[in-house]
Amino acid sequence: MRVLFVCLGNICRSPTAEGVLRALAAREAPDLTLEVDSAGTAGYHIGEPPDPRTRAAAARRGYDLSTLRARVVEPGDFERFDLILAMDRENLRVLRRRAPADAHERLRLFLEFAPHGHAAEDVPDPYYGGANGFEEVLDLVEAAARGLLAHLRRQPRAA
């Protein structure tokens, strides 16, 4: 299974999801053959590591994001990945415009996988907000990553 997380800049939300899912899968589902990556719909930060605030908040919960580097979504991603998960509805709209028709069924909102009771659809963009935004990203991402992992374990070949 190949999973791609997509946000705007690929320096806050989607690298967090990449690091969290990878760590969770290694710990709780080592049997699952999973490839995890992330990318942005915008190219403002290509080649940069995740935002220092994102890295610090993730490190406090035990996730090391320091080796990740930002990139933009490219046409080949729509063929390569089994699931392409947008961090919010705006980025999902952008992906729908860019993806070929046969990839649309593989485009989803990441928070669809959060447990019922989590009403949010979007992981809010923390870039211009306060420190609490980065904690909120981690809370939402950890919840949805658990749900996604459960989903992948139920149907490891066809998400």
Q: Residues in the site for ligand 4NP, rule: CB under 6 A?
A: 7-13, 44, 125, 127
Compute the least distance from the CB of residue 123 to ligand 4NP, in Å: 8
Query: For residue 6, what are the contacts with CB-CB under 8 A and spacing of at least 6?
Result: 14, 38, 39, 40, 41, 73, 84, 85, 86, 87, 91, 95
Show which residues are catalytic. Answer: 7, 13, 125
List the strands of the sheet with 107-109, edge to edge. Answer: 35-40, 2-7, 83-86, 107-109
Compute the least distance from the CB of residue 48 to ligand 4NP, in Å: 10
In angstroms, the CA 108 to CA 88 distance is 10
Compute the least distance from the CB of residue 34 to ligand 4NP, in Å: 22
Rg of the Cα atoms in the chain = 14
